[in-house]
Structure 1
Amino acid sequence: MDVLSDAIAAVRVGQPSSNRVRVSGTWCTRLAPYEGAGFHVVLKGTCWLLPDGGAPVPLGTGDAVLLPHGTGHVLADSAADAAAVRRAVPFERWAGDEGPDERTAYGAYGGVELLCGKYRLDRSHAHPLMAELPVAVHLPNRVGSHPELRAAIDLLGRELEARRPGSGTVVPSLLDLLFVYMIRSWMAEGATGAWPAVLTDPVTAAALRALHADPAAAWTNDRLATEVGVSRPTLARRFAGLVGRAPMTYLTWWRLTLAATLLRDTEEPLAAIARRVGYGTPYALSHAFKREFGATPGRFRAEVQGRQSATA
């Protein structure tokens, strides 16, 4: 596993959901803050995104926007004023039975077609790469830019246009791909922040790949420096300077984060999880886990799985 894949896996829960909406005329809808990440793709036409507390974002055909922190926002046909925003129709009602009529959306006046969706995220142990994402990641449709993202959007649009056998598997998989490609594209756009720099620095990137590939290994600073091909002082300086913590401190945190993910997503016994994340005994893992998360592994598992059942 690479760092980005691990960072996403640590927070992703359940299946993504999506709505395909067609609308014309004057419209304004509000999406409330959400415990996850929201996204929109403009398949046809133009509209505006107005994030809570943020500047309006114009969206054109082929544009994608990710709201990685579940920020509340408004979608509208124009840069609506404050009074119009206050009158915005809740999205669940707007996109439901009382919402846009797909039969008339493409009348003589054209219209807008949107793919709107959500990813459920568990933020209790988010990787700093995910925490660093901005409120809104706007990825305009430019010729030649982000071909993988454009291909995923095209495939998703075609799949949703005519539901075919296997769509129940294909659509969630394409939505997952879309999530990865949107974050990748943000990083490729020259994003500011620590983690784009971390993952493009040859020393820190190689060290992180090694730690994430085998977190249970008996890592030491010397062994990791040898793996990366630099001296121990060079590794320590570069890693701490960019990541913000020493290599072995990061490894401890990641092992416990991985343990939390396994407790959340599997029924594996604590002894098996301890082995997978590099702890010699369940007791050693339990002691370190409680220090990091404030709860024993058993209590953590019961609470997080209880929350998942309540929101399923």
Structure 2
Amino acid sequence: MDVLSDVVSAARTGRPHSGRVTKSAPFAERFPPVPSAGFHIVLQGTCWLLPSQGEPIALGPGDVAFLPRGSAHGLADDPSTPVSEPSTTLTGDSDEMSADRPPTVVMLCGAYLLDKSGPHPLLNDLPEVIHLPTRVGRHRELRAAVELLGVELDSNARPGSDTILLTLLDLLLLYILRAWFEQQHVSGHSATGWVAALHDPAVATALRAIHEDPSRPWTVEELGAQARLSRAAFARRFTHLVGQPPLTYLTWWRMTTAARLLRTSDAPVNTIAQQVGYSSQYTFTHAFKRQYGSPPGGYRHHAS
């Protein structure tokens, strides 16, 4: 299991949604904070993203703007256009194309619901806004997913459309995150944190081992052997890049995996406890409550 895919699977809840949005100038909409990760992708034309903090960001054809924490923001044809009342959805109100008001911009907009009770530190490392400008030869997989998503949204509910849309939205999220992490790595912006951790051979190997088999009673020595480092060298390196010691991360990931299983399956609590490495349901319940503030049964009831 690669770490990025695993993190996204654990964080995602519910069904993502998206839609094609057409705007004609002048327009300026505000979007309040939402408990989801939102995206805006320009298919045609231009517009401006107005972050809650920082300078306006010009968006052109092919540009992707991703807001990992659903931060308040705006969209406008020009930064000087007066902003309207907040919209209730990330897609806003779509204008219809007309002869007297030609479209200024055509976008794909949407959102992913994320579990906010225990966000993965990898997602916490992301900035408020990820802007991926289009460039020839860059992010080809992302461009292909955007094109397919746009085609499917125009297909008028052909057979299989629901499953195809969900699959494409999952791919889109992974391609956005992959593109950003690779961009940061190439530019050398991060010597620590998850950008560095995912590209460090030793730490990435240990992370994959933990994610592939969280129920195994890992020791620091065993994880160090996987990374081909001594116990002490591995522990220092892992803690420096990931931000917490190896076994602390292991416990945290076990609880995160357990939370996903509680949300998405009907498996008994004792079965889930065994799946994440606990032979004692009492010990598992105590560890889960320490991370999530409620016992597994209460968490499952609230999540449902």
TM-score, normalization by structure 2: 0.92
What pairs up with 1:153-232 in 2 under 5 angstroms? 153-163=146-156, 164-190=158-184, 192=190, 194-232=193-231
CA change 1:272–1:93 in 2 (3 A) is closer
Letter in 2 for 1:303: H
Please point out which of 104, 113, 116 is paired with 1:111.
104
Letter in 2 for 1:100: D
Match of 1:20 in 2: 20
1:95 and 1:254 map into 2 onto residues whose CA distance is 36
CA change 1:109–1:299 in 2 (3 A) is closer
1:280 and 1:94 map into 2 onto residues whose CA distance is 47
Q: CA deviation at 1:95?
A: 4.5
For the aligned residue pairs, the C-alpha RMSD in angstroms reads: 1.9
- Show CA shifts across 1:26-67 (max 9, x none): 111222211010001101000001021232110000111100
Match of 2:96 in 1: 101
Contact 2:215/2:278, CA 8 A, preserved across alignment = yes
Contact 1:61/1:141, CA 8 A, preserved across alignment = yes
Contact 2:90/2:110, CA 8 A, preserved across alignment = no
Letter in 2 for 1:27: F
Q: CA deviation at 1:135?
A: 0.5
2:260 and 2:297 map into 1 onto residues whose CA distance is 13
1:94 and 1:138 map into 2 onto residues whose CA distance is 18
1:41 and 1:22 map into 2 onto residues whose CA distance is 12
Structure 1 residue 255 and structure 2 residue 254: aligned?
yes
Instruction: Name the SS of the counterpart of 1:152 in structure 2.
Output: helix
What pairs up with 1:85-96 in 2 under 5 angstroms? 85=83, 87-88=84-85, 90=87, 92=89, 95-96=92-93
1:14 and 1:93 map into 2 onto residues whose CA distance is 16
Letter in 1 for 2:78: S
Letter in 1 for 2:24: S
Identity %: 47
2:229 and 2:92 map into 1 onto residues whose CA distance is 56
Letter in 1 for 2:279: G
Contact 2:45/2:106, CA 8 A, preserved across alignment = yes
CA change 1:93–1:36 in 2 (3 A) is closer
Match of 1:151 in 2: 144
What pairs up with 1:78-89 in 2 under 5 angstroms? 78-80=78-80, 84-85=82-83, 87-88=84-85
Contact 1:289/1:296, CA 8 A, preserved across alignment = yes
- Show CA shifts across 1:250-291 (max 9, x none): 111111111112112221101110111000121110111122
- Show CA shifts across 1:57-86 (max 9, x none): 1000011110000011111111135xx12x
Letter in 2 for 1:212: H
Gap regions ≥5 residues in structure 1: 306-312
1:277 and 1:196 map into 2 onto residues whose CA distance is 26
1:178 and 1:11 map into 2 onto residues whose CA distance is 15
Count of aligned pairs between the two proteins: 298
Letter in 1 for 2:21: V
1:11 and 1:93 map into 2 onto residues whose CA distance is 19
- Show CA shifts across 1:154-207 (max 9, x none): 111122223332211111211111111111111111154610001111111110
Contact 1:10/1:125, CA 8 A, preserved across alignment = no
Structure 1 residue 236 and structure 2 residue 238: aligned?
no
Match of 2:114 in 1: 121
